[in-house]
A and B are shown apart, each in its own frame.
Chain A
Amino acid sequence: MPFIPHTPADERSMLDAIGVTDISSLFDEIPKDLRAAPLTGIPIAMTEMAVGRLMSDRATRDGRPLNFIGAGAYEHHIPAAVWSIVTRGEIYSAYTPYQAEASQGTLQTIFEYQSMIASLTAMDVSNASLYDGASALAEACLMAVRIQKKTSGAQILMPRAVSPVYRRCAESICGLQGLVFNSIEYDRLGGTTSLVSLSDSTGNDVTAIVIQQPNFFGMLEDVDALTDWAHAKGALVIAVVNPMTLAVLRPPGEWGAKGADIVVGEGQPLGVPLSGGGPYFGFMTTRIEHVRQMPGRIVGRTVDLDGRTGYTLTLQAREQHIRRSKATSNICTNQGLLMSAATIYMAIMGAQGLEEVATASVHNTELLVSAIAALPKVRTAFIGPRFHEAVLQLDVPVAAALEGLARRGIAGGYDLSRDYPELGSALLVCATETKTAADIDRYLEALDTVMTNVDSVGEC
């Protein structure tokens, strides 16, 4: 079935109209060695039936493990209404609106989304969403440099308690643009970024500090002290937050005396399924005085000549179709589909619903952590307030324990030993509202058994 509507005759008449012999000559100005066709390494076409079979076979191989992994992507219950509504023809759109003002419904959805995210984070303005949380952090770092008008040697303080994936992503995207990322240690007892390590390791010229709350270990940072410390140094505060937690935690706009300057995060917990890692969406909010340095699209609400409400893309002079190489970002798009799902999820859940999800997740993780204390070969790594994740230290290699749990149908957590070797055999676990007391018991029993087996016979 052809998906391209033009017939060979259509193509011929178009080519004749512009006086070109064939389509390939339209690309003459591209040197031959830079052209990709023919594509090698692409397997031969499969039928829809065969692809369906292949994908369902692979999905079956995953099993449906009882999931205790968080580490940046969280399993939450998604009310059935969310995706029934998102996939309606009127809303279903993967991408940013082109002919934007002709798509008033799409623009209104984005406007509602922006209003909700701005409200959750207690900031003035939100953009229409970005690719994901990690690239949103990279964009926030670049934005901080523009706000501070740094032309060279911009220094970003990046605590090690920030997600290692986010750190690597930000460093990949920004590293070649002259930004210097200064790694900040965490306190080994509390698992949080301490002011002492900050003061030790920085000079006076700091462009911005990144603060993740809760941090990658699930621990709660002293965000007020960190924010005030940064502002006293003339540095901006980039908050990385899980939007779900903001139903109960104080929002970044209220951190310290002045609040965070830029807020970013991963929107996945708001109605987006885990889906093996994506697609997700990133969000970004800021204070109104920095809006012209914000990347991404922004929808505004206005009135037409007859006084009727209308929605429009606004502040477009920041964007690449106008500002070219000096645009605030190459990202003049948004994640339309995922953002729509989040908007509908938030609308269905309401403030109370989000709070219930957050509270239940905290409660379940506490159940898990308190029961861990009864196991002989497992300890929690850090002492202090946490949200819905915890670091466990095991007396056996974490990879072996995870393998044993997997064999028992349990995705047992995220192995921290690669990114945090100093923590030894360490595991990051998460129990959201989706876990029952029986699920948690099953996890603990399996972990106990696996630990004993690994310890005694060296296998699980």
Chain B
Amino acid sequence: MSSHVPDDLLYTASHEWVRRNSDGSCTVGITDHAQHALGDIVYVDPPAAGREVSAGDACAVVESVKAASDVYSPVAGTIIAGNTDLASASEKLSADPYGEGWLFRLQPSDVAALSGLLTPAAYRDSLAACGD
């Protein structure tokens, strides 16, 4: 089954998506492919605002009926907000992974680091390579 990969986002190999906002911040979530692979999401633990993160730091946890998975920060920066609505409405992550299911917003410490992320085409290729 082919998952939805919007054209206006950047991606990571660990299945996070990154939206560049007009104020210079980024919004991060997990991709449609990731939420399908996890199954029914039962709990989301977003990061606290103010936390400094490096690229690759585990900063949120998504728990499904099958597994509990870490979500990694795509670039270094400061967490501006975690999506605390998900704590009581984790199903939003499955229903709308690129919208209401966002996990956190961060202010990158170096915007240039975003150029190291995957383009939609590259992410689609990586999914195709692993059989999606």
Across the interface, do B51 and A318 meet the contact criterion of CB distance under 8 Å?
no
- Asked whether B91 is an interface residue with its Cβ less than 8 Å from the other chain, the reply is no
Interface residues of B in 39-74 (CB under 8 A from A): 42-43, 45, 47-48, 51, 58, 63-64, 67-68, 70
Main secondary structure of the interface of B (DSSP, over half): strand
Nearest-neighbor residue (CB-CB) of A292 within chain B: B43
A123 to chain B, nearest CB (A): 20
Assess A317 versus B51: contact at CB under 8 Å? Given A292-B43, A292-B45.
no
Q: How far is the CB of B56 from chain A (nearest CB, A)?
A: 14
Given A292-B43, A317-B63, CB of A149 within 8 Å of CB of B48: yes
Set of chain A residues within 8 Å of B64, measured between Cβ atoms:
317
Give Cα A292–Cα B62 distance, bound, in whole angstroms. Answer: 12
Residue from A149, A318, A322, A326 within 8 A of B70 (CB atoms) = A326
**Complex contact A149–B51 (CB within 8 A):** yes
Question: Within the complex, what minimum Cβ distance (angstroms) separates B106 from chain A?
Answer: 15
The answer to whether A317 touches B67, judged by C-beta atoms less than 8 angstroms apart, is yes
- A407: CB under 8 A from chain B? no
Within A196-250, the residues touching B (CB, 8 Å) are none
Expressed in whole angstroms, the minimum distance between the Cβ of B108 and any Cβ of chain A is: 20
CB neighbours (8 Å) of A318 from chain B are 68
Q: CB-CB < 8 A to A292: which residues of B?
A: 43, 45, 63
Complex contacts, B68 vs chain A, CB 8 Å: 317-318, 322-323, 326
Majority DSSP secondary structure for residues of A touching B:
helix
Taking CB atoms and an 8 Å cut-off, the chain A residues in 303-329 that contact chain B are: 317-318, 322-323, 326
CB A296 to nearest CB in B, in angstroms, measures 16
How near does chain A come to B40, taking the closest CB pair, in angstroms? Answer: 12
Establish whether residues B48 and A322, one from each chain, have CB atoms under 8 Å apart when the complex forms.
no
**A→B interface (CB under 8 Å):** 149, 292, 317-318, 322-323, 326
19 contacts between A and B (CB under 8 A): A149-B47, A149-B48, A149-B51, A292-B43, A292-B45, A292-B63, A317-B42, A317-B43, A317-B63, A317-B64, A317-B67, A317-B68, A318-B68, A322-B67, A322-B68, A323-B68, A326-B58, A326-B68, A326-B70
Binding site for A on B (CB under 8 A): 42-43, 45, 47-48, 51, 58, 63-64, 67-68, 70
